[in-house]
Amino acid sequence: MSSETGRRNLRPLSLHVPEPKFRPGDSVDFGDFDIPAAGSVMRPEIDSAPAAMTGHAYTLVRVLDDQDRAVGPWDPKLEPERLVRMLRHMALTRAFDDRMYRAQRQGKTSFYMKCTGEEATAVAAAYALDRDDMVFPSYRQQGILIARDWPLFDMMCQIYSNQGDRLKGRQMPIMYSARGANFFSISGNLATQYPQAVGFAMASAAKGDTRIAAAWCGEGSTAEGDFHSALTFASVYRAPVILNVINNQWAISSFSGFAGAEATTFAARAVGYGIAGLRVDGNDILAVYAATEWAAERARNNYGPTLIEHFTYRAEGHSTSDDPTKYRSAEENVKWPLGDPIARLKRHLIAIGAWDEDRHAAMDKDVAEEVRAAQKEAEKLGILHDGLKQPFDTMFEDVFEEMPRHLQDQRDQMAAERKAAGI
Amino acid sequence: MTDATKTMNMIQAINSALDVMMDRDRDIVVMGEDVGYFGGVFKATEGLQARYGKTRVFDTPITECGIIGVAVGMCAYGLRPVPEIQFADYIYPALDQIVSEAARLRYRSAGEFTAPITVRSPFGGGIFGGQTHSQSPEGIFTHVAGLKTVVPSNPYDAKGLLIAAIEDNDPVIFFEPKRIYNGPFDGHYDRPVTPWSRHPTSAVPEGYYRVPLGKAAVVRPGDDVTVLAYGTMVHVAAALIADKGIDAELIDLRTLVPLDIETIVTSVKKTGRCVVVHEATKTSGFGAELSALVQEHCFHHLEAPVERVTGWDTPYPHSLEWAYFPGPVRLNEALKRVLRD
């Protein structure tokens, strides 16, 4: 032991283990939250050197102010009609989540994950990018698919693993793949999509194309090695890619301190890699749009990658398998100082005279009906627990392009065993 | 396309395969640590960057998970990457991208996205490479659904199999036994190595040709015992069989997945005996799979237990290399045991 080695009489070392400020039962006070005022952050030129943008990694780009007005240099000045469409896509995403969450609770499927409170981060990106830009999402960007007008019916069939499931019942619910929407196949393995997005961007650049790529991961996943390799590659080859970190404060039960948030911001990771870094109010859809648009222009003009930290809050449990009351205060969600992205855009539209409570109520009814109608259609093709929805031998297909002998044998064996067992 | 042949060692054959394919298909890119300007630490990619440019042949940062992850993303765009992992011993950081992503992409997306990647990597021992320049991790990859695993044993096959691997629309792990890059190695480490030029398989066509994946080669027909080998061990087995005058049928598997089970079963049913040889450690190694398959398909024809001659279940040692390497002495003892019964 060190005490026997005759070392100097030093104070014992102590290990710092992060602890969130509030636990179940605690009353929540975000009073010490330092929130930069809307409009206070300057908008750099798209060709700015990353080193000149260091300050942007430690502040928050915000457009919507306390009076619900769009202010400052980041105001993207979008047409009100466009904002209404964005509002509707956020509302549709939330209605979809609510409905599918309930479907899981009703035993119609095995699993679901909501994105409540984070709708702006996905919907705004879908609007700011071109449709042929390839997105490499994590499992909480369903808003991109919805904002790219992908059929809810198709998404639900995947969730139910039913006869209409294009993925043939192979993937857990919400692990969508939609090449037609330039939406990359979702993997359960965290952060793997990060270097993949960089690779797509490098390929597009190497071919002299004009498409760019974007990836998303949570702040928890930034601790994965793939995050580091992706940023290194993106920096080295100046890949036309946007790397989004959705900092929703929680990685299942671990608060963001376990990914390093006590010491710095996630946007600041960009600084060390020589990548442009932006930190935005993730519940301000105008700020998210403006930051994404800026990064997309930068990428398209060969000025390289951008890392965007979206500062937001995971308003609900991690998944249908999670109970957040076991590790965090129930007050956090309601006291979150950056509010709710849908409510904020709604107030803004009302403030500029482009919206009102009646129209909002009608819209809510409308999106709920759209979701209900899609669900009805999807359930005609079955729900998870109806039994096998795909011919069982499809299980052996697509492992390889052509089924090799050993898989043919296993398929035949399975058929013979089921026949012998009288199934 | 020329039918002319040229004498090549394995490195030259691999280089030629890359050259032929890059010339035929503009979507092929070669990437990895030191593969660009320098041409690779084993010179397998020499001259390619000068010929095809820096956007098709380029050096990468030292991050194996990044190399394979980026390659998967390039496939989503439509490219056909041929990444190099400098030593198979360093492929582990890329395992998540290989196992969780490349191998499953076609399956999990029901064919919407695929990963036609060929991962080249020097592997195997016999070069005093110690712990981390000698490993044979093929068993890790043969265990993964969705991957093909190839191990050539000579220049002709190396080129033909690599071309087939690059053209294949599934991810292929292409392990190159570095002990035999410059000449066949028979396990007699105390004798000078003969160069490939004295071996018939060094006559390599200069143009395009394929050696199909999933097809084994009967290197030497025989009636008394079947020896299943791949990579360097093909030459160790061939030399020992010749030295001892054993009438063994030597099969070079060439592709481990998909496996040419027909050729194996036909042979063992004829000989009634089987010895499996590989450098990799024994427990849960690919030899266990081969042994199980032979037992399953040839049970009533077997006249002796299937023997496995493999590396010991230890990390690969440096100074004790020749006690570790499954060379002629150990193979001879195994054959004697099998033929005695």
Kindly report, residue by residue over A291-321, the tens digit of the pLDDT. 999 999 999 999 999 999 999 999 999 999 9
pLDDT of residue A388: 66
Residue B219: helix, strand or coil by DSSP?
A: strand
Per-residue pLDDT for B166 more than 50? yes
Digit-coded pLDDT (tens) for A96-137: 999 999 999 999 999 999 999 999 999 999 999 999 999 999
Given a cut of 70, whether residue B130 has pLDDT beyond it is yes
CA distance A212 to A70: 28
Confidence of residue A3 (pLDDT cuts 50, 70, 90): low
The reply to whether A182 touches chain B by the CB within 8 Å rule is: no
B217-220 and B203-205 strand pairing: unpaired
Span B106-116, mean pLDDT?
Answer: 98
Q: Scanning every residue of chain B, which has its alpha carbon at the shortest distance from the alpha carbon of A136?
A: B73
**Per-residue model confidence as pLDDT tens digits over A394-411:** 999 999 999 999 999 999
Cβ–Cβ of A405/B113 closer than 8 Å?
no
- For tokens 């960007």, name the residue: A141
User: Cβ–Cβ of A192/B101 closer than 8 Å?
Assistant: yes
Please report the pLDDT score of residue A423 as a whole number.
Answer: 87
3-state helix, strand, coil in chain B (%, to 5): 40, 20, 40
Residue B55: closest CA among A133, A205, A229, A305: A205
Tell me whether A419 touches chain B (CB under 8 Å).
no
Mean pLDDT, rounded, for B147-152: 98
Q: pLDDT tens, A200-246?
A: 999 999 999 999 999 999 999 999 999 999 999 999 999 999 999 99
Mean per-residue pLDDT of chain B: 97
Query: Helix (H, G, I), strand (E, B), or coil: what is residue A22?
Result: coil
Give the span between the Cα atoms of A409 and A5, in whole angstroms.
66
Query: In chain B, which among 276-335 make CB contacts under 8 A with chain A?
Result: none
* Over residues B129-152, mean pLDDT: 97
pLDDT at A135: 98
Helix, coil or strand: residue B45: coil
Residue B110 has pLDDT above 90, yes or no: yes
B109 at interface of A, judged by CB pairs closer than 8 A: yes
pLDDT at A60 over 60: yes
Q: Which residue of A has its CA nearest to B106?
A: A398
Contact between chains at B77 and A207 (C-beta distance less than 8 A) = yes
Nearest CB to B65 within list A167, A225, A404? A225
What per-residue confidence (pLDDT) applies to B2? 53
Q: Do B114 and A406 touch (CB under 8 A)?
A: no
Residues B233-251: tens digit of each pLDDT = 999 999 999 999 999 999 9
Extract the runs of DSSP E, i.e. beta strands, from A263-404: 276-281, 306-311
Distance (Å, whole) CA B298 – CA B268:
7
Q: Longest C-alpha distance within chain B, in Å?
A: 60
Query: How much of chain B exceeds pLDDT 70, in percent?
Result: 99
Angle between helix axes B64-77 and A193-206 (nearest 10 degrees) is 60
**Chain A residue with the nearest C-alpha to that of B262:** A405
Quick check: B74 and A199 CB within 8 A? yes
pLDDT for B105 equals 98
Share of chain A above pLDDT 90, in %: 95
Query: For residue A202, which residues of chain B lie inside 8 Å, CB to CB?
Result: 70, 73-74
| pLDDT tens by residue, B202-222 | 999 999 999 999 999 999 999
Residue of B nearest to A408 (CA): B258
At residue B275, does pLDDT exceed 90? yes
Per DSSP (E only), the strands in chain B are 5-7, 28-32, 57-59, 80-84, 118-123, 148-150, 172-177, 203-205, 217-220, 225-229, 248-252, 255-257, 274-281, 307-311
Does a cis peptide bond (omega within 30 degrees of 0) precede residue A337? no
Query: What are the chain A neighbours of B109 within 8 Å (beta carbons)?
Result: 167, 177, 179, 185
Token readout for B141 is: 């990859």
Please give the C-alpha separations between residue A252 and each of A22, A113, B37, in angstroms, as whole numbers: 15, 11, 45
Question: Considering only CA atoms, which of B279, B284, B278, B282 is closest in space to residue B321?
Answer: B279
Instruction: Give percent of chain A above pLDDT 70.
Output: 98
Q: Residues A175, A187: contact at Cβ < 8 Å?
A: yes
Query: How many A/B residue pairs have CB atoms within 8 Å?
Result: 146
- Catalytic residue list contains B133: yes
Q: How many CB atoms lie within 10 A of CB B105?
A: 27
pLDDT value of position B190:
92
Chain A contact for B112 (CB, 8 A cutoff): yes
Measured between its terminal Cα atoms, the distance across chain B in Å is 53
Side chain identity at residue A371, one-letter code: V
More confident site: B192 or A198? A198
Asked if the Cβ–Cβ distance from B261 to A170 is below 8 Å, we say no
pLDDT band, very low/low/confident/very high, at A33 (cuts 50, 70, 90) = confident
Token couple for A81: 């009609």
pLDDT at A389 over 80: no
Provide mean pLDDT across the span A5-34: 91
What confidence tier does B1 reach under pLDDT thresholds 50, 70, 90? very low
Residues of A known to be catalytic? 314, 318, 327
Least confident residue range of A340-354, A383-397, B132-146, B301-315: A383-397
Q: Is the pLDDT of residue A2 over 60?
A: no
Q: How many CB atoms lie within 10 A of CB A401?
A: 14
Contact B63 A192 (CB under 8 A): no
